[in-house]
Structure 1
Amino acid sequence: MIHTKLNKVNFFSFLSNRDYCRLSVFCVLITVQLLSGCYSFTGGTIPEHLQTLSISQAGDNSGFGNPRFREYLTEQIIDRFRKDNSFTLKETGGDAKLTAAISSINDATVTVGSGELERERKVTVAIEAEYFDGVKKKSIWKRTLSNFQIYAVAEGQVGRDAGITKALKQLSDDLLTAVVSGW
């Protein structure tokens, strides 16, 4: 029986430990750089023929009675799309059109403390939105989106209004995500 002894060859034996560490770090950085070019945050699902977007003034069908909220929603949506740069915004006649309306605002008790006193409330805001392809004259999607915020009862109407505006701000982010990534 013949026994062969395998000699282990270390291809990096000519490198010192410090050089080996530098080479390892360099290889990891190159790999990360190459892989980062393969990932996109926007998803890229906006049809190529849609270059411009018109955003309608948001409506308010909630019966809540504060026109400031629909104005705030409109401002937030426009601001999000302006910063994103996925579309060129047009006041009217865009290739695509986005409409949104507040459909409900509900305020409910969340936490009751000792003596059955309310401590926290939850305000839930829902909006109906439609993303319309003006070139092909068809709806891309219609959705209901909602978000909630919790506020302390001690904050009163100021806390409730702040919760509503935070929810509307989050909903404008959700609308942007839905349009640009097909979510």
Structure 2
Amino acid sequence: MKFRHLTYFFFLVIFSILSSCYSFTGSSLSPETQTIQINEFINNAPLNNPQLAQQFSTDIQNRFLQRTTLKGTKENPDILIEGEITDYSITPTTISSSVNAPGGNIQAAQNKLTITVKVHYENRIEPDKSFDRVFSDEAVFSSDLDIQQIETAQVKLVNERIINKIFNDIVANW
């Protein structure tokens, strides 16, 4: 009987220590951090996708407002996130050729979409965590896709990967 009480006490102490050291939400943000402002990202990429900046800005705002307890604000935020899209490119990655076609028709079998985003993150509660970084990701896809399919599925995929990286660097601080 005495052993069982000692075991419960031991687990209670361990749980208390762990919960005081780590937030089970996975967030490393200070409890004093309560507000966030995410400015519209500007599209400065040489190849311009007209919906990219708006889509990226909306998606990153939604990520922070839905997955944290931070409240959006336009005045004196604890966290400020802003930036620009610096690259949006589609390049061939795999070449195929048809020996039966006259002249040996050479074409891309796969293409790669690359998006690069420059981010300014300012943490006014913990200024040492602030940063300016470049985030980039890519997706390889069949050259059979048309531009509409690329700009819906592939752009969404790459945006989500970049936003995951930004979110993890700010909130998870990994």
Whether these two folds match at TM > 0.5 is: yes
Alpha-carbon contact 1:123-1:150 (below 8 Å) kept:
yes
User: Does the residue aligned with 1:125 lie in a helix, a strand or coil?
Assistant: strand
Structure (1 or 2) with the larger CA radius of gyration: 1
Q: In the aligned structure 2, how far is the partner of 1:78 from the partner of 1:131?
A: 13
Counterpart in 2 of 1:58? 41
Q: In the aligned structure 1, how far is the partner of 2:25 from the partner of 2:31?
A: 14
The sequence identity of aligned pairs, in percent, is 17
Counterpart in 2 of 1:140? 130
Counterpart in 1 of 2:144? 154
Residue 99 of structure 1 deviates from its aligned partner by 0.8
Asked whether 1:72 is paired with 2:55, we answer yes
Q: In the aligned structure 1, how far is the partner of 2:50 from the partner of 2:31?
A: 36
Q: In the aligned structure 1, how far is the partner of 2:62 from the partner of 2:42?
A: 17
- Provide structure 1 residue ranges, at least 5 long, that are not aligned to the other structure: 1-29
Residue 169 of structure 1 deviates from its aligned partner by 2.0
TM score, norm. by length of structure 1: 0.71
Asked whether 1:171 is paired with 2:162, we answer yes
Alpha-carbon contact 2:78-2:125 (below 8 Å) kept:
yes
Residue 135 of structure 1 deviates from its aligned partner by 5.0
Counterpart in 2 of 1:125? 115
The aligned length equals: 149
- RMSD over equivalenced CA pairs, Å: 2.5
TM score, norm. by length of structure 2: 0.74
User: Does the residue aligned with 1:174 lie in a helix, a strand or coil?
Assistant: helix
- Provide structure 2 residue ranges, at least 5 long, that are not aligned to the other structure: 1-10, 99-105
Which letter maps to 1:104?
D
Which letter maps to 1:75?
T
Residue 142 of structure 1 deviates from its aligned partner by 1.1
